[in-house]
Structure 1
Amino acid sequence: MDKKHAPLKGDLGAFKWLGTVWVAVGSIIGGALLGWLLDHVLGTSPLLLVVFLLLGVGGGFWKAYKTIMKGFENK
């Protein structure tokens, strides 16, 4: 394969890590939005916002941890 069409492993690795960051951030934002929406509908403010925000933080960090550990195992 010539250099012009050779895959760039470093760049692809960066996209994997960037995707991990987006999943973590998206989990936090998604949890906060879902909690806020449920609080708004059920009138339980801010209980569900806090619960779903914590679940989003936990889920985001858990997914990031699993991805990072998987990256270290592949080396």
Structure 2
Amino acid sequence: AGMYLSADAPCCPVIHNSGWCWRNPGILKIPGVITVRFLAPIPPGLSRKQFTLALQQALSQAKSLPRGKQTDLS
């Protein structure tokens, strides 16, 4: 929120599902497709509280991102 307030510019939230292929903790990586989604920009000028709420709502609505397809590379 601090960068958003300082920049006075729109914030474009980005989500991904890399956790499906790249587990944490550990170095094991599962072959597959990672999906990245750019969400609608949040306009500048919101208070810290308003921005945080808008970001939480955007991320919550976007949680329907499909899991990455695992592929067999053997």
Q: Same fold (TM over 0.5)?
A: no
Higher strand share: 2
Which structure's relative contact order is higher, taking Cα pairs within 8 Å and 6+ residues apart? 2
Higher helix share: 1
Output the TM-score relative to the length of structure 2.
0.32
